[in-house]
Structure 1
Amino acid sequence: MAPAPPRTRQWLPYTAAVTAGLLVIAGAFVLVRQRDADAGRADCTTKLEVNSSTEKAALLVELAERYNSSDRSFDGGCAQVHVSGLTSGKATEALAAGWSGTGLPEPQVWLPTSSLWTGQLRLLDRSAGRALQTPDQYPSIANSPLVIAMPQPKGELVRRRGPLGWGEVLGLSGRDGWAGFGRPEWGRFTFGKDNPNLSTSGLAATIATYYAAVNRSSDLTRSDLADPKVTGFVRRIEANVSHYSDDVVDLLRNLAEADLAGGGAGTEDMSAIVMQEELVHLYNEGGLSPRQQGEERGRRPNVPLVAVYPKEGTFNLDHPFVVLPSADEGQRAAAADFLAFLTEDDQQQSFARLGFRDHERRAAAGLLASVGAEPAGGLTYFEPPDPMVVEAMLDGWSTLRKKANILIALDTSGSMEAAVGERTRFQVASAAAAKGLALLNAEDRVGLWSFSSETKRSSAPYREEVRLGALDQKRINSRIADLHVEGGTALYATVRAARQHVLERYDPARINAVVVLTDGKNEYSQDNNLAQLLADVALDPDRPVKVFCIAFDRESDFATLNRIAKVSSGKAFDATDPATIDEAFVKLVSSF
């Protein structure tokens, strides 16, 4: 039996630390549980456990309850369906490990976001020498193609140019910015996408880029990935990434908040986002806008998004219905009946209200009215590559993606001596930082500062520990291990100075960022003006330096860190429960 490629074992644990699917309908969750089954179905002896990817899990819970309260029967019997939700990456790993450690019932039916995950599970099963759990192709219950989403004025301008390809929109346009489209006042062209190691949509976007590079819609091969023309095409597109996201839904929520507040610097450096068509609809309908208590959806944005469909074609997220080998004969019959139920008009309309295309890839009129008309003649879809090609693609992407210029500021105030179990806060944070550094690219540039306040050891609140330069993981880890913890928390002074330090060493070919790890709030009386800090670190669209923060432990001022991050178009990660700090670092590193 052929061994699995090394990447397979590396990639899935990486995704297991974060959200691999998109968290849309019921907010930011990883696990979803259906309430206890209706007592009215107690006569049904067949129990069917279904596990769904999280972006549609809340809807599947609703549809399962609708199914359970119906009078459906098959083969003289009936079934109770129970739905739980887990991100596609976590579910893939759990199925490969015998479904241990999830705390959820073992499923007989699996509903991941994409058939890409069934391919990854096949690789893991082959590697373990066991029978394949997902050997076949599977029917879809809903679909959502990948699109390039732009604010309406920009999207309509691009669409008026006629059919354009991935490279023409995301690559070549970056040389002159919007001047190439006759609007130099719009500045440079950058776009956002999810990290393909963490996100189904990010992976689909990367696959679509490779297919556009070879000018085919199927049969992508490893030799294609090694072609210098192909790698050059992909590198040119990646060079225009503003920064990578661990969850595009968070990015869209921030965009909606800024839009409804009348605009804001936090989104001005991003001209487009590569994501599912479904999310364009959800955004435009107010599904990702801030909500008042009791509201199902927020206000529609002032400036909606427009979907641009590249001329070469696009990748489709097919939401397969997978019956697993764990299903017995009765459960297989129940699964067939539940699949038939999900593809009936009433249930398909429920998917359509959330922006999905139906199980046969047809778009409802309301969807196209919301996101923009598709090309004449319909869409061309790329075929999913062989799973081995996907793995090779991810290996290659690590060298082609945009590199980073990062200054890490690590809190060394006295409060970091507080105990977290048998370790101190500083020891827990240091260990997490070391794991995060290991996930960076060897070509990234990284520096390290420590900060607290003036102490006997230093007359400045922040200190350069490792100069910003070529990543030297061993040296940074060694320097962190030697740091002394004392003093207060000079948060504002450090963030301002660190941002200025990176700005003075700005590299337009890289993602330029400051990373702040702190367990507290600003305690430095000499610099205590938050309004001035927010003005000082606000995003400069021409020379963006983004601030990313990790709020460590419950004493952290997460609300303030979140404001600092947002105004710079960065992101704050909540690790106020120290047990989540490793996960926060993996999410943060996915931005670079």
Structure 2
Amino acid sequence: MSGSNGAPTRRSTRHPQRSPRTLKVLAGAVPVVLVGAGLALVAVNGGVKATLDASAATCADPTHVSVSTTREFLPVLRKVASGVEEAAGDRAGCPAFEVTASAPAAAVSQVTGGGSDAPDVWVPDSSVWVQRANAQLGGDSLPQPVTVAQSPLVVAVPQARAAHYAGAGVPSWAQLLGGSVPARMSDPGASTAGLIALTTVRSALGSSPEVQQEVGGAMIKLSRTAAKSTDDLFTAAASQGAGAPGFPASEQQVLRYDAGHPEALLVPVVPTPGTGRLDYPFVTVGQPKPAVAKAVLALRNALTSESGQRAVRAAGFRTADGQGGPTPTPGVTNPAVKLLPEPSLKDVDAALQTWSAVSTEMRMLAVIDVSGSMTEQFGGLTRMAVAQGATDTALRFFPPRSQVGLWVFSTDKDGPGKDWKQLVPLGQLDQTVGGVNQRAALLQANAGISSYIGGNTGLYDTILAAYERVKQNWDPNRINSVVLLTDGQNDDTQGLNLDQLMAKLRAEADPTKPVPVITIGMGPGVDASVLDQISRATGGKSYLAQKPDDIRKVFVEALLQRSCRPNC
């Protein structure tokens, strides 16, 4: 739970005021008040009863134990920790648990920072966060955690739509991503449900280039409607009712929402072929003193005990072994759950890298080879037709705020000694200049690009000019890049040679303003090693298309990988 400023809320579960305790003393004693000692003696029925006041009733010399968890799991930990305190009584050294709810990413910083704010116990909502902390800690990894609860990842959908699925069949992750089923998601950088959803999609759909291309294109769209948190999506669902899109959340989160919104129920749906889960690992942090370690062990044992697991179930979670399920809201049925393999840290990093790539706006100059050899066949089509088709596809799914420009090149294309020609200057796709929409202007120019075919491949001069143009108005809020497609080698004898080009690229390189040049080679006449050398020099990457379908694939891949430039 967080305060209004978003800061973690801390509260000890040990109540500061116990019920008064009584102590019988000798009958006939004279009533006296010993306030300084915290003891009040009062005459009762001819005798004297001693009553401990609040300060005397509290634990003598308590063992303070700090516990960090998520907002959803906070009530469970407070209830179980309170039970441990009650069982320990008020003897010296008894535990006093201070429970904190923090966002997982913030908790990772606390756990790995080694400062005074590091908790003694950490219970995040996914083992992924423990892996992240261990990666930062290196040789000082956290001890093996113990799972104390779990909740499967589901897609929360309005009740009316869920009823439709009951007859038409549960949708797949591909349908949710592809747009045939309305869907949104929360930012995976801030939401564990969003993060697990990304890794689940990768696991469910496979890793083939074709699938990843479709996933990437869908993520581009989803990233533009992503909510800051899963709570924001629940809030939107409450106001939109039956028209609300589905979104990934934990089963427990859906149950908690439904309890307070009977008029706008959401139903947990598990897409095919399966799903991931939020698990709750209990982790001991650092090297606690013996008294703290004893209290930590008592809390862990209480959570994994029969009564502790009842508390877990009562809060809407499934047990540590995944058995059973929470009691659903009337009218809602718990879904059958098939769990997919747990994600590794590598899987998580790859998913976050993809999301970061598609979430960052782009500024890209597309440069297309129009030398005479582009009329040759490539898989039953001319190379130019294949290039046009790939460019058309890319231009149609690029997000509206993307800035894109289009050049063509071959020797002396725009006059003697100038191998490149600008067809459409860099501009934002959703803007209109001179009465013409930028995206429409690009599509139209691309459709007529074959009219420029002729000449030889003026590669090196064009690459330098494109690099300098993008760098000229470098935008710190975008990924600035050049994507160049060619079917040949440089054969402009009047222009730069390779050594001269490389020297100029090195001289103009500015680490604070990276401009990766991504090259795509197609056909047998390409010198792949030269293209790779040029791309690497700028922090870009080179691709080689062996068949027409590869062109479309690499356009998408180039977009998805741009966030890691120039250090891929």
TM-score normalised over the length of structure 2? 0.53
Per the alignment, residue 132 of structure 1 pairs with: 140
Per the alignment, residue 373 of structure 1 pairs with: 334
CA contact under 8 A between 1:52 and 1:111: conserved in structure 2?
yes
- 2:190 matches 1:206: no
Deviation at 1:205, TM superposition (A): 0.4
CA contact under 8 A between 1:238 and 1:400: conserved in structure 2?
yes
Per the alignment, residue 90 of structure 1 pairs with: 106
- Among 9, 16, 22, the alignment partner of 1:32 is 9
Q: Deviations over 1:314-371 (max 9, x none)?
A: 1111011001223233322322211121233444344334322122222345138664
In structure 2, do the counterparts of structure 1 residues 372 and 36 end up closer, same or farther at CA, with 3 Å as the change threshold? closer
Q: Deviations over 1:110-160 (max 9, x none)?
A: 11111100111111123xxxx323253x22222111111111111121232
Return the alpha-carbon distance in structure 2 between the equivalents of residues 397 and 358 of structure 1.
31
Amino acid aligned to 1:206? L
- 2:120 matches 1:108: yes
Return the alpha-carbon distance in structure 2 between the equivalents of residues 337 and 238 of structure 1.
44
Q: Deviations over 1:282-334 (max 9, x none)?
A: 11111xxxxxxxxxxxxx33231111112322111101100122323332232
SS in 1 for 2:327: helix
Deviation at 1:73, TM superposition (A): 11
In structure 2, do the counterparts of structure 1 residues 469 and 506 end up closer, same or farther at CA, with 3 Å as the change threshold? closer
Amino acid aligned to 1:167? A
Q: How does 1:289-368 map to 2 (within 5 A)?
A: 300-364=261-325, 366-367=327-328
Deviation at 1:507, TM superposition (A): 8.5
- 2:107 matches 1:151: no
Number of matched pairs:
342
In structure 2, do the counterparts of structure 1 residues 144 and 36 end up closer, same or farther at CA, with 3 Å as the change threshold? closer
CA contact under 8 A between 1:445 and 1:468: conserved in structure 2?
no
Deviation at 1:231, TM superposition (A): 1.2
Larger radius of gyration: 2
In structure 2, do the counterparts of structure 1 residues 372 and 237 end up closer, same or farther at CA, with 3 Å as the change threshold? farther
Return the alpha-carbon distance in structure 1 between the equivalents of residues 142 and 290 of structure 2.
17
Return the alpha-carbon distance in structure 1 between the equivalents of residues 226 and 160 of structure 2.
24
- 2:70 matches 1:53: yes
Per the alignment, residue 247 of structure 1 pairs with: 229
SS in 2 for 1:238: helix
Return the alpha-carbon distance in structure 1 between the equivalents of residues 186 and 132 of structure 2.
19
CA contact under 8 A between 2:127 and 2:279: conserved in structure 1?
yes
Deviation at 1:505, TM superposition (A): 6.8
SS in 2 for 1:275: strand
Deviation at 1:72, TM superposition (A): 7.0
In structure 2, do the counterparts of structure 1 residues 365 and 245 end up closer, same or farther at CA, with 3 Å as the change threshold? closer
Structure 2: any 5+ residue segments left out of the alignment? 17-56, 364-397, 404-424, 441-568
CA contact under 8 A between 2:431 and 2:437: conserved in structure 1?
no
Per the alignment, residue 97 of structure 2 pairs with: 81
Return the alpha-carbon distance in structure 1 between the equivalents of residues 66 and 192 of structure 2.
23
Q: Deviations over 1:86-107 (max 9, x none)?
A: 211001012222236xxx4x32
Amino acid aligned to 2:257? Y
Structure 1: any 5+ residue segments left out of the alignment? 1-22, 178-188, 215-223, 287-299, 406-441, 448-466, 472-497, 509-592
Q: Deviations over 1:522-557 (max 9, x none)?
A: xxxxxxxxxxxxxxxxxxxxxxxxxxxxxxxxxxxx
Amino acid aligned to 2:281? P
Q: How does 1:442-457 map to 2 (within 5 A)?
A: 445=401
Per the alignment, residue 132 of structure 2 pairs with: 120
CA contact under 8 A between 2:111 and 2:119: conserved in structure 1?
no
Percent of counterpart pairs with the same letter?
23
SS in 2 for 1:49: strand
- 2:82 matches 1:65: yes
Return the alpha-carbon distance in structure 2 between the equivalents of residues 305 and 160 of structure 1.
17
SS in 1 for 2:185: strand
In structure 2, do the counterparts of structure 1 residues 44 and 369 end up closer, same or farther at CA, with 3 Å as the change threshold? farther
Q: Which has the higher contact order (CA 8 A, sep 6+)?
A: 1
Deviation at 1:276, TM superposition (A): 1.0
Amino acid aligned to 1:336? L
Per the alignment, residue 219 of structure 2 pairs with: 238
Deviation at 1:166, TM superposition (A): 1.2
SS in 2 for 1:306: strand
Per the alignment, residue 584 of structure 1 pairs with: none
Amino acid aligned to 2:230? V
Return the structure number with greater strand share.
2
Per the alignment, residue 253 of structure 2 pairs with: 279
SS in 2 for 1:302: helix
CA RMSD of aligned residues (A): 3.8
Per the alignment, residue 589 of structure 1 pairs with: none
Return the alpha-carbon distance in structure 2 between the equivalents of residues 27 and 159 of structure 1.
41
Amino acid aligned to 1:393? A
TM-score normalised over the length of structure 1? 0.51
Q: Deviations over 1:18-75 (max 9, x none)?
A: xxxxx69x8884401114734556146533221112332244234323332234799x
Amino acid aligned to 2:313? A
